[in-house]
Copies of this chain bind each other. A is one copy, B any other.
Amino acid sequence: MSLPLANQQHDHNQCIETALQTARQLCQEKGARLTALREQVLKIVWQSHKPLGAYAVMDILAEQDTRRIAPPTVYRALDFLLEHGLVHRINVLNAYMGCSHPGSAHAHNFLICRACDVAIEFETDSLDRALHSSARAYDFEITGQAIELIGLCANCREETDHEAG
């Protein structure tokens, strides 16, 4: 199995372009208004594969744009994007990142590297099954989930090994 794109050298502009295109299409289909501001925020969040805090987004927004940007502006845009599945919130980091598979119904599971901060979105049937079977065992109805694994990605572990060895 090959490593996820986030861990490889890749043309990230392509990631951004794809994300924006998909977002536009999905919003059009749903009749949701992907306004200039919302698209700008989505693009900022997609600048890298690292989750970005709301205030970081705000700062970048302020740089790109001369007008003064206040927190609600950013949070509203993020809320819109969250609602439509275009970004995810990483709770352990209080941060936001672009969704890699918007549109497709899928669970939101993350591997978060504490060295390089990259967050990798993944899904597996076995995990979903295990989660639902646990919930069933406790007679619990799942309506949302936050699965966040912290650790070291392949790249960073390599570097650490080199330093150590």
Contact = CB atoms under 8 A, between A and B. Distances in A.
Kindly state the interface size class of chain A when it binds its partner: 35 or more
Contact of A151 (B7, B127, B135, B151): B135
13 contacts: A1-B138, A91-B91, A91-B148, A111-B138, A120-B138, A124-B133, A126-B126, A126-B133, A127-B127, A139-B153, A145-B148, A146-B146, A147-B148
Main secondary structure of the interface of A (DSSP, over half): mixed
A152 B142 CA distance: 7
Interface of A: 1, 3-4, 7, 91-92, 109, 111, 113-114, 120, 122, 124, 126-127, 129-131, 133-135, 137-154, 157
